[in-house]
Amino acid sequence: MRPLSVVSWLICLLCSVNLMGQSFGAEFVDDIQFPHDAILLPSPFSPFLIGPYAGPDYTIHRGQFQMSENGIPCCTFEKGSGLGFTAGIKSFITLGEKSYLSPRVAYTRHNGSFESFTEEFPFFGADDTVENMRFRDELSAPIPTFAADLFYCYRIDSNLGLYIVGGPAIEYISSAEFSKTETIVGPDGLVYLNGGDSITGGSNVVRSVDIDYIDNVSRLVFGARAGLSLLYPLSETIYLNPEVTVSLPVTVIADNWRMLEVQGTFGVIFGL
């Protein structure tokens, strides 16, 4: 009887462990398969998304570039900044459960304001003595571009629909126009005889120069962008898409002049 009792006890124990394992396994599987309520999960369900976006573009100009007048180097500009805008269209193509490929094209206006170093120019002053005129130039350029980017997007927060994005960027500079203001800072009493409108203010004389073109501009500029993007669904086919990106330049525009951009955009994206 004792061996039979031991066997019976072991059978009961194994059955209990099996039932407990099935119960625990069911709860574990349920927890893995359904971590969130499907209604509250703000992850995009459409395999292809597309829509417009727009926003401000703040450009930081780094480095130097030199201008010339009638083939003669006249002034060197260093650094600068400007607030412009960007507008375009983007799409999101599903790669996996948490990743998208996002090609986009945009028009951007990189406004820039620059100031040159103080230059000196010799002239004949009183009693035909040689004196040095000191002048400084200020340059303003819109720098319009057409851009094409290809981003890889990876979801880092399913509850918010937050993605980290990044990829290569190509910009084509469609115009190198600029306007320039030249200011005589000394000595006192100098005026322009021709070549522009003279405006005397205090001890300075200012001449406005007509629209001209920046020398030796490289039309194609290559770089990389990275940032954060939010895809929040209003419905199964409409998403709000605020995004912040920073661009890092790889190639120069002219001489060693480069543009670093910070963009904050807002888009409305539609699922197809």
Which tokens is 154 given?
A: 């990876």
Instruction: Please indicate, yes or no, whether residues 110 and 67 belong to a single structural domain of this protein.
Output: yes
Q: Is 220 helix (H, G, I), strand (E, B) or coil?
A: strand
User: Is residue 63 left, alpha or beta, with left meaning phi > 0 and alpha meaning psi from -120 to 50?
Assistant: left
pLDDT of residue 72: 60
Residue 227, phi then psi, degrees to nearest 5: 175, -155
Instruction: Please indicate, yes or no, whether residues 206 and 258 belong to a single structural domain of this protein.
Output: yes
pLDDT of residue 180: 75
Instruction: Please indicate, yes or no, whether residues 28 and 100 belong to a single structural domain of this protein.
Output: no
Instruction: Please indicate, yes or no, whether residues 119 and 253 belong to a single structural domain of this protein.
Output: yes
**Range list of H helices, the chain:** 2-33
* Assessment of whether the complete model's pTM goes beyond 0.95: no
Instruction: Please indicate, yes or no, whether residues 235 and 154 belong to a single structural domain of this protein.
Output: yes
| Inter-residue contact 102 to 75 (CB < 8 Å) | no
Point out which residues pair with 110 in neighbouring strands. Answer: none
CATH number at residue 143: 2.40.160.20
Instruction: Please indicate, yes or no, whether residues 167 and 213 belong to a single structural domain of this protein.
Output: yes
Place of tokens 């955009």: 265
Domain membership of residue 6 as a residue range: 1-35
Instruction: Please indicate, yes or no, whether residues 124 and 5 belong to a single structural domain of this protein.
Output: no
- pLDDT of the chain along its 272 residues, tens only? 444 454 454 445 444 434 444 443 444 344 444 454 444 444 555 789 999 999 999 998 887 676 666 666 667 777 788 899 999 999 999 998 889 999 999 999 988 887 776 666 676 666 777 777 777 777 788 889 999 999 999 999 988 889 999 999 999 998 878 777 777 776 666 665 554 444 444 344 555 555 566 767 888 999 999 999 999 989 888 999 999 999 988 888 877 888 889 999 999 999 88
CA nearest 75: which of 65, 61, 60, 87? 65
Instruction: Please indicate, yes or no, whether residues 4 and 110 belong to a single structural domain of this protein.
Output: no
Instruction: Please indicate, yes or no, whether residues 112 and 20 belong to a single structural domain of this protein.
Output: no
User: How many domains in the chain?
Assistant: 2
Instruction: Please indicate, yes or no, whether residues 118 and 26 belong to a single structural domain of this protein.
Output: no
Instruction: Please indicate, yes or no, whether residues 146 and 59 belong to a single structural domain of this protein.
Output: yes
pLDDT of residue 205: 53
Is omega for the bond preceding 187 within 30 degrees of 0, making it cis? Answer: yes
Instruction: Please indicate, yes or no, whether residues 10 and 120 belong to a single structural domain of this protein.
Output: no
